Amino acid sequence: MKRNVISRHARSIAVSVAISAMTATGAYASATDILFILDGSGSMWGQIDKIAKITTAKETLTKLIDDVPDGARVGLMTYGTQSKESCVDFRTLNEIGASAEAIKASIADIKPLGKTPMGMSLSVGIASLSKVEPLDRQKAVVLISDGIETCDSDPCTSAAMAKYLGVNMKVHVVGFDVDQEAKAQLQCIANAGGGQYFNADDTAGFNKAMEEVIEVAQAAPVVIAQVAPAAAEEAPAEPEGPVITEFFREDFDGEVLSDRFEIENENPDNYIVDGGVLTVLSTKFGTFDAEAPENLFKYTGELPRGDWDVEIQFTGEYTAKADRLTLGLRKDENNYIATGHFGMLFSAARCQKTEMFLTKMTKGEADSHGRPMRAVKDGQCYHAKPFGGEANWDVIQADLLEKPIKLTFSKRGRAYTSKIEMVGFTDPDGNPYILESDKYTSLRSPGTLAFQVDRMNNSSYASGEVLMMIDSLVINEVKSGGQ
């Protein structure tokens, strides 16, 4: 399949045009994809009207599944049902389009147990739903919860992702027997996701709220204006330049990795494949230069024989003060070429920044250079890109969770380079903010394609967990236009 590379921005415009056209005809009245995220945390055993909240929620949702109009498609996620302590305890029980009977069977099996990782569940659910074909269908996430986030994530920022993925998606929330603190957070989630919040204090209120949220989720968008379609233009000639062919793609669908991957020094407690996202957690220091880096994800298939690009797209919670994702070719800790992205929050030296790097390690001798991306204006690591410095680290951190980063590692002949882009992030002139590296040359292949997540500093100031959500890994074959 030959194609020219199309920017995500252009793809978003194309989808928006299709959405506008369908909206004008009212076609979305029932043609909606709805992903339910049902709270399975331990607090759902609490009682309202002498009935456990989880019992009411399961009974109501089961009845509603039968009432979803023809044309609508439904999926189901839950969290907190497998572990009392885990913050990556979330599962997709039924993909969008599953049968009503399959979804009702999944609902019946839910048994509340653990924490409330709403932010991570929303991140995974929204990313997964955004990739469900066809992309021009209306999509909705419906979160049902009885409490607040308990895993130090920011669910409001996660919900805001729905606005940046190039599809027509909203996040609606039903709060069941919540206090004022939880209500405020759940309202924030709905607002950030462009949806509505529904409050329920008792069983009758919950039944009504669920009926209303289903109606709202399937409602046709309001048509503000209609623009006559432009006259068809002759398709432009294919531009000169390299022809890019998709060679391999991993979207992390299903519940296990593709058989094209193996994991070196595996720690299964620190990664999960769910809902189209590979989520990796780390508290370890050491990446390609470590003798035994934890959870080194190695691609075992072939690479194109000539030139190629490898693209990895991800978001992350940069809360460990030294968060890093690395991608490259690795033979061992003394021989590799790798690129990556890291966020550093070094309070003692007032250095708060993000940076792309490219490193060549040959027989234990390393050469490396970096490209600063963003930094806090008043810090010692301040640089002028792209907005003259940020007001504080919270601004940068929120974007890193909300706007995916696309990191590209490229081979041209015997030269290796890298490039990075924050999707949905532009400079003051509206242009994509892209950084490119210098090049390193290697006469022989430096090793096997791999990627890994770690905490890039082992000093006392770097604490907490690194959490990265990897959306896709794509290998493209690159040939010149004459080939």
Residue 54 is predicted with a pLDDT of: 94
Query: And the tokens for 159?
Result: 């919900």
289 burial (CB, 10 Å; 0-12 / 13-18 / 19+) is middle
Per-residue DSSP letter, 74? E
Q: How confident is the model at residue 465 (pLDDT cuts 50, 70, 90)?
A: confident
Residue 370 is predicted with a pLDDT of: 85
- The residues, any chain, with a CB within 8 Å of residue 75's CB and separated by 6 or more, are 33, 34, 35, 36, 92, 94, 95, 96, 97, 98, 103, 129
d(CA 267, CA 283): 12
d(CA 261, CA 235): 40
d(CA 158, CA 192): 8
- Nearest to 167, CA basis, from 288, 24, 11: 11
**Tens digits of residue pLDDT in 347-372:** 544 678 888 999 999 999 999 988 88
- Specify the CATH class of 243-479 in words: mainly beta
**Three-class DSSP labels, 406-424:** EEEEEEECCEEEEEEEEEE
Residue 424 is predicted with a pLDDT of: 76
The CATH classification number of 11-218 equals 3.40.50.410
Q: Where do the structural domains in the chain lie, given as residue ranges?
A: 11-218, 243-479
Q: How confident is the model at residue 455 (pLDDT cuts 50, 70, 90)?
A: confident
**Tens digits of residue pLDDT in 80-109:** 999 988 888 899 999 999 999 999 999 999
* pLDDT over 80 (residue 248): yes
Residue with tokens 């920022």: 157
Query: And the tokens for 410?
Result: 């490229």
pTM: 0.59
DSSP-derived pairing of the beta strands 415-426 and 365-375: unpaired
3-state SS, residue 268: helix
Q: Picking from 30-44, 147-161, 450-464, which range would have the lowest pLDDT averaged per residue? A: 450-464
Kindly state the average pLDDT of the residues 68-81.
Answer: 87
Residue 394 is predicted with a pLDDT of: 84
* pLDDT over 80 (residue 190): yes
